[in-house]
Structures are given as C-alpha cells and as structure tokens.
Amino acid sequence: MRHASEDGLRLIRRFEGFSAVPYLCPAGYLTVGYGHVVKNPDAFRQPITEDEATEILTVDVETAERAVLRLIAVPLTDGQFDALVSFTFNLGAGALQRSTLRRKVNREDHEDAAAEFLRWVWAGGRKLNGLIRRRQAESALYQS
C-alpha cells in the first residue's frame, strides 16, 4: 500500500499541532494528539506523549491513505498524494468522495484541482485563517 511521505506527515503535524490532553477543535470535535478525534474520552484521561500521538497519527493517516487510494483512479505524484491525504485526514473520506476536488483530480484537471483545496476553509460556520493556510499549503504541495 502507498503511504504519505515525510513531507506529507510533516504538513499534517504542523497544522494539527500537538495536544497531550483532549480539547474541542474549531469544528466541535473532541481531539487529542495530532488531530485524533476522540471517540472514547475514558481512553484519554491521562495526558499522552508525542510518541504516543505519533503512533495514533500513523493509524489515522493510514485510514486517509486508504480512502485516497479507493477514491482516486488516476496516477498521482507524491505531492498530489500527500496533499489529498492531508485533506482527507482533516475532513474525512466523505468530504473527498463528494467533492469537486475529487472529480477534477480523476479527470486529471490538476490545475483546477489545486484551486479546489481553497474552497474548504470553513468550520463551525466560520471561515478560519488556520484552514486558509492549511489549504494553501496543500494546494502548493499538490502542485509540487
């Protein structure tokens, strides 16, 4: 199975940030580590280490990688794959599946696909500067 490169993982870690204890993300999800959505709060009563967060991230990223591999039917460069994995990690496979981004990638309309990342900058009904920066970084990685 194909995996995100270290550049892709670094982008995810940079924008997710690390938290040893659960917190509510801007979209209202209980989150810990590097963007891990907490489904069982009892599992995270104690702070986690960065090493533990990295282990959790590896599993979560694998879910995003599988989704990209399932939903994208054309060859991708490493940068394109990494950008789509970051996008999917952040928003979920459903967002990629129903997106115009996916349709444009699968048509190999890569220039327009890169611009589609910039449409996904809203969370909790607000346009967020952090998401604007993340989507700009993903778009740039997609085009690299």
Six token digits for residue 137: 């970084």
Active site residues: 16, 25
The whole-number pLDDT of residue 68 equals: 98
Residue 42 buriedness (CB in 10 A; 0-12 / 13-18 / 19+): exposed
pLDDT band at 40 (very low <50, low <70, confident <90, very high): very high
Share above pLDDT 90 across residues of the chain, in percent, rounded to a whole number: 94
In this structure, is the dihedral angle defined by the CA atoms of residues 127, 129, 135 and 136, taken in order, positive or negative? Answer: positive
Q: What is the pLDDT of residues 70-90, one digit of tens each?
A: 999 999 999 999 999 999 999
Helix extents (H) in the chain:
6-16, 50-71, 78-91, 93-97, 100-106, 110-116, 129-143
Where is pLDDT greater, at 123 or 22?
Answer: 22
1: which 2 tokens? 């199975």
What is the dotted CATH code of the domain comprising 6-143?
1.10.530.40
103 band by pLDDT with thresholds 50, 70 and 90:
very high
The domains of the chain are located at 6-143
Q: pLDDT value at position 123?
A: 87
pLDDT band at 124 (very low <50, low <70, confident <90, very high): confident
Residue 33's pLDDT band (cuts 50, 70, 90)? very high
Q: Tell me the C-alpha distance between 93 and 52, whole Å.
A: 24
Q: What percent of the chain has pLDDT over 70?
A: 100
Residue 27 has pLDDT above 90, yes or no: no
- The CB-side HSE value for 128 (13 A sphere, CA atoms) comes to 14
Q: What's the pTM?
A: 0.96
